[in-house]
Amino acid sequence: MIRAELIPPNEPARIAAVHRYDILDTPTDGTFDRITRLASTLLDMPVAIVSIVDTDRIWFKSHHGLDAQQIDRDPGLCASAILGTGAWVIEDAEFDPRTLANPLVASENGVRFYAGVPLTTQDGFNLGTMCVLDTKPREFPEDRVSLLQDLAAIVMDEMELRLAARTALATIEERARQATEMNDDVVQSLAVAKLALDLGNAEEAGQSISSALVASRRILDELAQDLPTLRRTAAVRI
């Protein structure tokens, strides 16, 4: 049971946004792994994580310095970090009133330091965090906060880019389906025109040929409109 204070007021819409990005339970990804490795190196932290807060768990899209793939949402620290808009920093968890009762802190070799920045979508939903952890207390000055925020922004840029590519690809596939249906209309119209000509009905043949030309122009116009999107999608996939 997740404590009520760990659930954002926009939770249903936030979970819908998590699903929109289609990232949960996806395979290991070199792009995100490079970001967590970079975070660990630049901030001199043993653990760096890109986390996604699901309904009842915190799933790690990338985790450097940690073997776990996920933890329960309660008492996960990331569940608290997504409640705000800025960085959530705990410099010494043993003496911070926000984390005194947290089992992750109270356990032997537990978390003593945590800093997380929400992964915020363009429409304002916090999907998870870019975070770093240590088993000893640490100071975390403003320049390090800024660096962690920049890394979180890079993670979100990558997620937004992939979402845009998937959306564009779905649009192109739908256009292709529509084009196939229109192409069937062209073929059918030409078949009717041939039959009308064979029967000596020139007027009906002309109408059918005109219908075929209109459908053909629609196919070409829609494909021309989709060409820039197709090029961008191909570049992203490469």
41-55: pLDDT as tens digits: 999 999 999 999 999
Q: Which residues contact 143 (CB under 8 A, 6 or more apart)?
A: none
Token code pair at residue 118: 């929400």
Give the DSSP letter string of 137-158.
-----HHHHHHHHHHHHHHHHH
pTM for the whole structure: 0.74
The alpha-helical segments, DSSP class H, found in 44-141 are 77-81, 103-106
Helix (H) or strand (E) holding 5: none
Q: What is the pLDDT along the chain (238 residues), one digit of tens a residue?
A: 678 888 899 999 999 999 999 999 999 889 999 999 999 999 999 999 999 999 999 999 999 999 889 999 987 899 999 999 999 999 999 888 888 778 788 777 789 999 999 999 999 999 999 999 999 999 999 999 999 999 999 999 999 988 887 777 666 666 666 556 556 666 666 676 667 667 777 677 667 667 766 766 666 676 666 656 555 555 544 3
- Measure the CA–CA gap between 40 and 122, rounded to whole angstroms: 26
User: Angle, nearest 10°, between helix axes 142-198 and 202-237?
Assistant: 160
Query: pLDDT tens across 80-120, in order?
Result: 999 999 999 999 998 888 887 787 887 777 899 999 999 99
User: Which amino acid, 221?
Assistant: D
Identity of the residue numbered 43: L
Neighbours of 64 (CB within 10 A): 22
Residue 200 parent element (H or E): none
- Taking residue 195's Cβ as centre, other Cβ atoms within 10 Å add up to 13
